[in-house]
């Protein structure tokens, strides 16, 4: 069986806010969950014998093909600019880069690393369609610019229907701006700093070893911050034995 080891990654991003009445392209349509793909199914491994199955060595099965290795790779700025016909066996991808598989393409030198281990920042009025129509291409915009743009959009009246909701969005937007400012500082970027905001008052939860004066100075420079308070993160003491 012939396998073409090449892929194209399309970055689905462009700053846009607008009506959802127009026809959406398939990559942006929640109703389209697959195109030319197999239906979802449980992952099973087929072995030639019961003994081989008990050994659970997937690589030893003649019906398992690993896709690990070097693949041709191209990152397109958006779907409209993807190379036409790249899926054809005779397509010439010699000019493409190479990437390790498995891997994360941002860690291989393409695009901007994006990571979050917290819930989505704008968590109010989730039924408002405006919250779902903002796409930011961080390959084009810096993190500071992207967060500033989102913060500006989030403060608009149509992003929330209640005063409480608007305040929650404004608080979270300001906290996000402070987080970005701290992440961009050479002494703070590797620190896990918690940021909370309420009506312009920002609280920083600093881990042990973080310079509080530097953290305060960075946070105070963010537009909209009225005052900053500090809280030192406490590491709980856990006993090795119950009781």
Q: What is the mean pLDDT of the chain?
A: 75
Is the pLDDT confidence value at 238 over 60?
A: no
pLDDT for residue 3: 46
pLDDT at residue 169 in the model: 74
Whether pLDDT at 49 is above 90: yes
DSSP assigned state of 14? -
Q: What spatial distance separates the first Cα and last Cα of the chain, rounded to whole Å?
A: 62
Which pLDDT value is given to residue 94?
92
pLDDT band at 241 (very low <50, low <70, confident <90, very high): very low
Distance CA 72, CA 80 (A): 20
Would the pLDDT of 13 be above 80?
Answer: no
d(CA 140, CA 173): 21
How many residues would you count in the chain? Answer: 243
Residue 82: Cβ within 10 Å count: 16
Mean pLDDT check: name the lowest of 21-25, 94-98, 221-225.
Answer: 21-25
Express each pLDDT in 54-87 by its tens digit.
Answer: 999 988 999 998 889 999 999 988 888 889 999 8
Instruction: List Cβ neighbours of 235 (8 Å cut-off, separation of 6 or more).
Output: 208
Q: Which domains does the chain have, with CATH numbers?
A: 6-108 (2.60.120.260), 129-232 (no CATH)
pLDDT at 50 exceeding the cut of 80: yes
pLDDT at res. 139: 56
DSSP letter assigned to residue 17: -
Mean pLDDT value across residues 115-140: 50
- The dihedral formed by the CA atoms of 118, 119, 121 and 123, expressed in degrees to the nearest 10: -160
Residue with tokens 């959802």: 20
- Give the range among 62-71, 132-141, 170-179 with minimum mean pLDDT: 132-141
Higher pLDDT, 180 or 154: 180
Looking at mean pLDDT, say which of 26-35, 36-45, 46-55, 230-239 comes out highest: 46-55
Q: Residue 155: its pLDDT value, please?
A: 65
């Amino acid at each position: 069986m012939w396998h073409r080891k090449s892929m194209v990654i399309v970055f689905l991003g462009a700053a846009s806010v607008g009506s959802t009445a127009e026809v959406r392209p398939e990559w942006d349509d929640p109703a389209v969950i697959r195109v030319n793909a197999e239906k979802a199914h449980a992952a099973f491994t087929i072995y030639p014998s019961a003994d081989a199955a008990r050994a659970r060595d997937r690589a030893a099965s003649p019906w398992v093909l690993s896709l690990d290795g070097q693949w041709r790779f191209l990152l397109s700025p958006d779907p409209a600019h993807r190379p036409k016909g790249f899926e054809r066996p005779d397509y010439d991808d010699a000019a493409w880069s190479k990437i390790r598989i498995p891997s994360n393409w941002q860690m291989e030198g393409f695009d901007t690393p994006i990571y979050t281990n917290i819930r989505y920042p704008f968590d109010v009025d989730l039924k408002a369609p405006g919250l779902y129509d903002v796409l930011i291409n961080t390959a084009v915009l810096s993190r500071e610019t992207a967060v500033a743009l989102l913060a500006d959009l989030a403060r608009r009246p149509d992003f929330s229907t209640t005063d409480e909701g608007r305040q929650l969005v404004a608080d979270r937007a300001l906290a996000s701006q402070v987080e970005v400012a701290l992440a961009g500082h050479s002494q703070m970027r590797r620190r896990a700093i918690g940021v909370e905001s309420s009506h312009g008052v920002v609280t920083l939860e600093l881990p042990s070893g973080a310079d509080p004066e530097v953290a305060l100075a960075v946070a105070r420079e963010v537009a909209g911050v009225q005052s900053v308070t500090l809280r030192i993160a406490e590491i709980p003491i856990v006993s090795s034995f119950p009781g």
